[in-house]
Amino acid sequence: MSFKDTAGGRALLKNIWSDNPVFRQVLGICSALAVTNLLKNTLLMCGGLVFTAALSSLTVSLLRNYIPKQVRMMVQVLIIAAYVIIVDIFIRAQFPEIHKTIGPYVGLIITNCIIMGRAEAFASKNPAWPSMLDGIGAGLGYSLVLIVIAVVREALGFGTLLGIPLPARDIWWYQWTIMVMPPGAFFMLALVAWFGNSIVLKKEGGAK
Amino acid sequence: MKRVKTVLFMIVIAALYGAGVTGLYLSSTQTVEQNKRFIEQRALVELFGLGDIKTLSKKEIARIVETQIDRSETLTDPQTGRQVPLLKAFADPTQSTLVAYGFPFTGIGFWTTISGYIAVDATLQKTVGLKVISQAETPGLGARIEEPFFVKPFADGLDISKPEPGKSYLYMGTAGSQADPGTPQYGRTFDAITGATQTSLAMERMLNASVAEFRRAADNRTTGAQ
């Protein structure tokens, strides 16, 4: 049995592409718009989300038989909040400059529907390992979209990638100020969602 | 019985996670404080030109700030009674040659608080530098207040002597434009940032307030009224 035929493998791959949380489920939009004008900030945010989604799903799955049904949502929020605070403390201590910019959005991971959604829909009903892979898949699917948006926004808005000036900057580049501002994120998100959806729908249509 | 079990479960899990997160937070406070201190020390060394921050180690930067910057004096604004710290930067650890004076500024930017230091010459009438220490303005737009093009006019020297009644200490101008001699803006203008008008206006507002406060406190010091 290959990896993609296992429950965890299927969940991971599905979350990355065909059930992508951002362009298929329209979740995690707030941070997708807010942290994508610099690739470095985006990578840190994505790392934080993958970490939180993976460990939250793992923990919820391990505790699923002990959590009373009436308070399961409260426990899930508590678990997610704890991991988010760990991410926040790590970034604050290791990357203080970046924390100033993305700090408020890291806190908002607690309310990110992607993590809560995976914990409730998958982790609370499945064993630990597939749940963790499902969480990682959701985080990677979110990261995929954010990284694409960030690469375009930073390149056009700043003429750099990860802060390194692109060769074209000295030849013909002109700053697209709108790409640095929130409307640039809206335009990019719409384009990525359109592109992603059209490929997935085309493939699904072909399969039928 | 089921309700008691549920409440107990919540108490135990909240206590466990709460204790874990609190422990982690407490163990990181020292690092966070060190980071904050280092960012300020690095900014001061750069502001007063006391060394090349790219080549200096953290320890060397800390030593320079400790031995070459005197923070012992505080001025008092006679109008509000508020204290204004006066920094004195020296060229060497023996503190024999004064490089410049400095004082902090702070205010609300477009998103949140902006703070930093302004360096002034020995006469306390002209700026010789500006350094933003803390800001969270829009990257690529308002956040450019940290970039060389924005701070250059302050390093080149802006007049912060007492202006005519009703006029400002500093003015925000169109990028690249020059104020005509004889106008209130002459020698007191810094460039606005294209696409970040609100941040530029906020800087103009907070710098004027901080310079006015410093001016009153400094004049109070020179007249010996303190």
Average model confidence (pLDDT) across chain B: 91
Report helix, strand or coil for A188. Answer: helix
| Among B10, B32, B139, beta carbon nearest to A101 | B139
**Token pair recorded at residue B15:** 């206590």
**How far, in Å, are A11, A43, A89, A143, B183 from residue A82 at the CA level?**
24, 21, 11, 21, 59
The ipTM value here is 0.77
Provide the residue type at B133 as one letter. I
| Chains A & B: contacts with CB separation below 8 Å | 66
Q: What is the pLDDT of residues B168-217, one digit of tens each?
A: 999 998 877 778 888 888 999 999 998 889 999 999 999 999 999 999 99
Q: Is the dihedral of CA B125, B129, B132, B138 positive or negative?
A: positive
B4 chain-A contacts, CB cut-off 8 A: none
Is A96 within 8 Å of B39 when comparing Cβ atoms?
yes
- How close are the terminal C-alpha atoms of chain B, in Å? 72
- What DSSP state is assigned to residue A73? H
Give me A202's structure tokens. Answer: 């085309």
Distance CA A120, CA A72 (A): 9
Mean pLDDT per segment of 10 residues, for chain A of length 208 residues? 85 92 89 86 92 96 93 93 93 86 79 90 94 96 96 92 85 81 91 93 76
In this prediction, residue B222 carries a pLDDT of 67
Q: Is A157's CB within 8 Å of B25's CB?
A: no
- The predicted pLDDT at position A207 comes to 62
Q: Are A51 and A83 in contact (CB under 8 A)?
A: yes
**Interchain CB distance below 8 Å, A66 and B17:** no
* Confidence category of residue B71, pLDDT binned at 50, 70, 90: very high
One DSSP character per residue, A4-71 reads: GGSHHHHHHHHHHTTT-TTTTT--SHHHHHHSTTSHHHHHHHHHHHHHHHHHHHHHHHHHTTTS-GGG
Q: Does A41 touch chain B (CB under 8 A)?
A: yes
- pLDDT, tens digit, for every residue of B88-125? 999 999 999 999 999 999 999 998 899 999 999 999 89
Comparing alpha-carbon positions, the chain B residue that sits nearest to A63 is: B13
Give the closest residue to A51 by CA, choosing from A5, A112, A97: A112
Q: Specify the DSSP element, H or E, that contains A165.
A: strand A164-165
| Inter-residue contact B155 to B46 (CB < 8 Å) | no
The shortest C-alpha distance from B60 to chain A (Å) reads: 20
Identify the pLDDT of residue A34.
81
Residue B226 pLDDT class (50, 70, 90 cuts)? very low
Question: How far is it, in rounded angstroms, from Cα A120 to Cα A73?
Answer: 8
Q: Are B25 and A85 in contact (CB under 8 A)?
A: yes
pLDDT score of B9: 92
**Residues A100, B136: C-beta atoms closer than 8 Å:** yes
B195 vs A contacts (CB less than 8 Å): 177, 180-181
Instruction: Please give the residue of chain A at the shortest CA–CA distance from B37.
Output: A96
**Which residues, in sequence order, are CB contacts of A35 under 8 Å at separation 6+?**
A41, A42, A45, A101, A102, A105, A146, A150
Give the separation between CA B37 and CA B144, rounded to whole angstroms: 22
